[in-house]
Chain A
């Protein structure tokens, strides 16, 4: 096809697509004007019905909790996929990280970076724990808090101690946390069935609005999700680090 013909084949659908795009935009509600009823209903009822002050959490972990199980298992499957793909291949072997670093002649980590990272480890863990346990009261929850929690061990690595990072995150414990977190969510769902209600129905005592121990199953599910996400993210980073630092191509003789 000639260049002119190719341009024509591109331009006609592109212009048609642009016209449809603009037409669709004229039909949108104005910026900042929410039309649907569902958000208003949730805002009005999440507080009295579920004793939660952050309206997002009852949607994610209660009213729509079944979907969230699916999302959680997407992460679970992703972690398993990364571990499978990044397992040691036949033509690779492990080096000691020290030898490898010398071969790279990488710049040593600056003292300022080390001190900053070490100083941030504890606040990071505290912040992550807060975000996980206060999911039903303030923005955040198991997913966000879990990733922040995983930031703790990663900061230890950035502070320059790969060995400490490995000691801090033993593989067996991470696998256990990952599985227990994912399974815990489903188990809490079955508690609903045992109580004679629907799967994942909020059957725990709702407590006093605004306190940490309130909103029924939500904080418990958040703890399970936080555990799973934190363990999963550390596992993923662990696999990547191992690939980058330790596993290399076996020298062929």
Chain B
């Protein structure tokens, strides 16, 4: 059971990681990164590392994509 869960979590991380790299437009890429952060959170939780899991969630899924989005908003404003 836990082996299957770990395999699924690892696969999900791999899929989302490829999704981040394959995206060439920064805006969808930021959203994809958010999902990648979420999948990392699940992986660490399944591997029984809740401390790291919490860090991965708040930094990977929230803080970093938020900063990327704000930077994109600023850059678009400059291009205007």
A residues with a Cβ closer than 8 A to B are 54, 56, 104, 131, 139-141, 143-144, 147-148, 151, 154, 233, 236-237, 240-241, 243-244, 248-249
Contacts and interface: CB of A to CB of B under 8 A. Distances in A.
A147 B51 contact: no
A148 B61 CA distance: 12
Nearest to B45: A139
Given A151-B62, A237-B66, A237-B67, A243 B54 contact: no
A144 B74 contact: no
Contact of B70 (A148, A151, A243, A248): A243
Contact of A140 (B54, B70, B74, B78): B54
B61 to A, nearest CB: 11
Interface in B40-57: 50-51, 53-55
A241 B51 contact: no
Contacts of A154: 66
A142 to B, nearest CB: 11
Contact of A139 (B51, B67, B74): B51
Contact of B51 (A56, A240, A244): A56
Given A54-B51, A140-B51, A244-B77, A147 B70 contact: no
The 6 closest A-B pairs by CB, nearest first: A139-B50, A147-B58, A144-B54, A240-B70, A244-B73, A244-B74
Interface in B65-80: 66-67, 70-71, 73-74, 77-78
Interface of B: 50-51, 53-55, 58-59, 62-63, 66-67, 70-71, 73-74, 77-78
Nearest to B78: A249
B75 to A, nearest CB: 9
A155 B50 CA distance: 24
8 contacts: A139-B51, A140-B50, A143-B55, A144-B55, A147-B62, A237-B63, A237-B70, A240-B70
Contacts of A241: 70
A109 to B, nearest CB: 14
Nearest to B56: A144
A246 to B, nearest CB: 10
